[in-house]
Amino acid sequence: MIKIELKSNYTSEMIDITEKVSEEVMKLGIRDGLCTVFSPHTTSSIVLFEKTDPKLRRDFLASLSRIAPAELNYESEGDNTPAHIKSTLCGPRIVVPVKDGQLFLGPWQAIFFCEFDGPRDREYYVQVIQ
């Protein structure tokens, strides 16, 4: 399993990590298998999402904020309850097939690290099994 560090810059953002994950998959040399990308944080997620339109990413984050708004009076302590809710809705991991040594993604797909409680120093993990 490979640990990859990143730094988020905003409270809420989607960071394209596809290239870094692809590099790690190629380094491992596994021709065919499954690649899991996992976030160990309870206020971030890993998702597959459309890669070409940044406005779509903003719409997605805005939609999540309507589901779990920051200004709502939550019963839990702390101010990051919306981040926990968003993370749970999106999930901590994705699994992508590896074919001929490369991630097998659709032409519009990319892998994103979703930050919901930034800015922070974060990490995620990549594991490929044959």
Tell me the mean pLDDT in the region 35-57.
98
Predicted TM-score (pTM) of this structure: 0.96
Structural domains in the chain, CATH included, are 2-129 (2.60.120.460)
Task: Quote the pLDDT of residue 24.
Answer: 97
Q: Are 32 and 12 in contact (CB under 8 A)?
A: no
Task: Quote the pLDDT of residue 78.
Answer: 86
DSSP 75-115: SSSSS-HHHHHHHHHH-SEEEEEEETTEE---TTEEEEEEE
Percent of residues in the chain assigned helix, strand, coil, to nearest 5: 25, 35, 35
In the predicted model, what is the mean pLDDT of the chain? 97
